[in-house]
Amino acid sequence: MEKRFGEDGVRAIVRAEQVGGKAFDGGASVAPAERQAAAEAGRATSIIKSGERALASSNASERLLQQSKLGAGLKP
């Protein structure tokens, strides 16, 4: 999706999948016959990006937990 629509396009896809967002149709660069496939790919991309954000958040939480465990023994 990023190769086809670029980073801005992928952000637009993710925004379109949020509640109340306008459905992503690919704009003028997508033929009318391919718009359904573009919408389905947009939903999949949104799910992937959501998972990536959740993983990054989980990793950040784990790092903070490890830092607090390591730092706990160093305090006077």
Provide the residue-wise pLDDT of the chain in tens; the chain has 76 residues.
Answer: 777 777 777 777 777 776 666 666 666 667 778 777 777 777 888 888 888 889 999 988 888 888 888 776 555 5
First to last CA, the chain: 52
Please, are residues 13 and 24 in contact by the beta-carbon 8 Å criterion? Answer: yes
Amino acid at the residue 15:
R
Please, are residues 42 and 24 in contact by the beta-carbon 8 Å criterion? Answer: yes
Q: Which of 18, 12, 44 has the alpha carbon at shortest distance from 52? A: 44
